[in-house]
Amino acid sequence: MQDTNPYLSVIIPAYNEGGRKGEELKNNLREIGEYLGGKNISYEVVVVNDGSKDNTAEFVKGLAHLVAKLEVIDRQENRGKFFSVREGFMAAKGKYRLLTDADGATSITNLENFLDRMEKGEDVLIGSRDLKESNIKKHQPKWKELMGDAGNLLIQFMLGLRGLEDTQCGFKVISARAVSDIVPQMQVDRWGGDFEMLMLAKKMGYEIVEVPVTWLDAGQTLVGASGMGGYASTLKELLQVKWRMITGQYKYKK
């Protein structure tokens, strides 16, 4: 029987994207459709509405013509970015599953640097803004970059992820096999899901490959907390992940 599942699923968590951020999401979906259509890659886009207070679900459904196949998971309760990411990953059907942000800060065209590695069967590929080959077109404010650098060093030290330059970039490609192993173990609902995912991948023996990306700071993300409160929330989640590691709450067997 012929496999009718797509090669790639693009998962986009969304919160209040129907208002002032709508144009960014629209442009992102248009670019996804044009790029993947030109590559002749079978794909689907899965947008997960994280209990938005605006018309995000209806707005996104109205953009279905921009991509080959669009699925919208419309959850009424706000549960956080990585609760939505887990929903999207598990609902997706693709051989590979790409997590990307609604604002398109990391353009779908960055997939060009991932495709050869995907064809070789690599399982965990993460975009990195901190490799020497990476291109930052518009930087975050300096204080945010410094906070991010300090946070990444702490993440590397606490979770055994030494050497990973950028754990938090919102552009990650995970194979269906790795998703089935990793995602059911994840428990972080909001900002810390990136490092929880990578910690689990490493503990399970998956090689994590960093891939340079071109990145443009698109401003304040609307998924989850913001400002200094977001950093405090992320630190709390980091400590929770470390505690679950220490107390044996994760199962690392592939």
For 79-132, the pLDDT digits (tens) are 999 999 999 999 999 999 999 999 998 999 999 999 999 999 999 999 998 877
226 is a domain residue: yes
Q: Report pLDDT for 222.
A: 41
pLDDT digits (tens, 9 = 90+) for 192-216: 999 999 999 999 999 999 999 998 7
Helix boundaries (H) for 8-160 = 22-39, 56-61, 81-91, 115-119, 142-159
Q: 136-159 pLDDT, tens per residue?
A: 766 566 656 666 667 778 999 999
CA distance 82 to 220: 17
Between the alpha carbon of residue 43 and those of residues 5, 38, 92, 103, the distances in Å are 8, 12, 10, 20
Three-state SS letters, 84-122 = HHHHHHHHCCCCEEEEECCCCCCCHHHHHHCHHHHHCCC
Asked, for residue 169, whether it belongs to a domain, the answer is yes
Q: What percent of the chain has pLDDT over 70?
A: 88
Structural domain includes residue 3: no
Length of the chain: 254
Domain that includes residue 242, residue range: 8-246
Q: What is the CATH number of the domain that holds 219?
A: 3.90.550.10
pTM of the model: 0.90
38 inside domain: yes
Q: Determine, yes or no, domain membership for 252.
A: no
Residue at 113 is within a domain: yes
Q: Assess contact for 94 and 9: CB atoms under 8 A.
A: yes
Confidence of residue 224 (pLDDT cuts 50, 70, 90): very low
pLDDT of 237 higher than 80: yes
Overall domain count for the chain: 1
In a domain, residue 254? The reply is no
**What would the pLDDT profile of 157-171 be if each residue is shown by its tens digit?**
999 999 898 998 999
Cβ count within 10 A of residue 241: 24
pLDDT band, very low/low/confident/very high, at 223 (cuts 50, 70, 90): very low
Domain membership of residue 116 (yes or no) is yes
